[in-house]
Amino acid sequence: MERLIEEIPSFFTIWNIIFLAKAMGVTFLLTAIGCLVGFSMGCLIAVFRKTKTIFLLPLRIFIILYTEIFRRIPFLVSLLLMFYIFQIFKISDSLFVIAVITVCLIATAYIGEIIRSGIESINQTQWDAASAMNFTYFQILKEVIFPQAWKVILPPAFGFFIMFIKDTALASQIGVMELTFAAKVLNNKGFSPLLSFGSVLILYFILSYPLDRFGKHMEKKLASNRN
């Protein structure tokens, strides 16, 4: 314990703080981009997966294959796969870019499924009533289905977002300097594990807590049927 207290001044140097802040920024960006892209693309693929027209059939098959594959491969495996694909085709050297793209692909697959199940939770009779009044497919989704589906979609979606903050730690495996990697580096520099990983733990909490609150707020706002 004494050693720990002695260590504190040398741990919280300006350099270490900047180092951790940068790593936190990387974790934040990975999560934020993943969630935003995942949510918008997830909406899109859920919406197209529910279409019935024959000429969109190839798109539907592609969507189903894509979601089923990416939800079945472990995060780490897709990350490494992407890493080698990028290496082989020399697309980009930036580890961050590789991580971001992988994160988006995975988030899209997962959130797409959450949104699809939300859409399907709404009774077919609501579709019937609306289509009998000449609503188009997209009008039904916008006016009738999504306003009712949010309360089914949001809780698992935010659960996924928060889980995702932690999952981005896997990006350290290909060398992206995010929070977990930063902790390892500090630990390797000789700082005690308690201090290195403890501070990272607090930073993860700082990232996820507001997101959790935001989720609760959105649930209240959108999930009551009164709009």
Q: Using CB under 8 A, list all residues that contact other proteins.
A: 125-126, 128-135, 139, 143-144, 147-148, 225-227
Q: Of 159, 137, 134, whose CA–CA distance to 146 is shortest?
A: 137
Q: Which is nearer to other proteins, 79 or 130 (CB)?
A: 130
Measured distance CA(80)–CA(122) in Å, rounded = 38
Do the beta carbons of residue 174 and residue 98 sit within 8 Å?
Answer: yes
Shortest separation between residue 43's beta carbon and other proteins, angstroms: 18
The 10 Å Cβ neighbour count of residue 13 is 10
Cα four-point dihedral sign 169, 175, 180, 184: positive
Give the pair of three-digit tokens for residue 143: 């006016």
> Contacts from 8-11 at CB under 8 Å and sequence distance 24+?
8/195, 11/186, 11/191, 11/195, 11/199
In 3-156, at which residue ranges do the beta strands (DSSP E only) sit? Answer: none
Shortest separation between residue 117's beta carbon and other proteins, angstroms: 18
Q: Which is nearer to other proteins, 68 or 143 (CB)?
A: 143
Shortest separation between residue 152's beta carbon and other proteins, angstroms: 12
Shortest separation between residue 135's beta carbon and other proteins, angstroms: 6
Shortest separation between residue 136's beta carbon and other proteins, angstroms: 9
Do the beta carbons of residue 48 and residue 60 sit within 8 Å?
Answer: yes
Q: Which is nearer to other proteins, 63 or 223 (CB)?
A: 223
For 74, list phi and psi in degrees, rounded to 5.
Answer: -60, 150
Q: Which is nearer to other proteins, 94 or 123 (CB)?
A: 123
Q: Which is nearer to other proteins, 188 or 225 (CB)?
A: 225
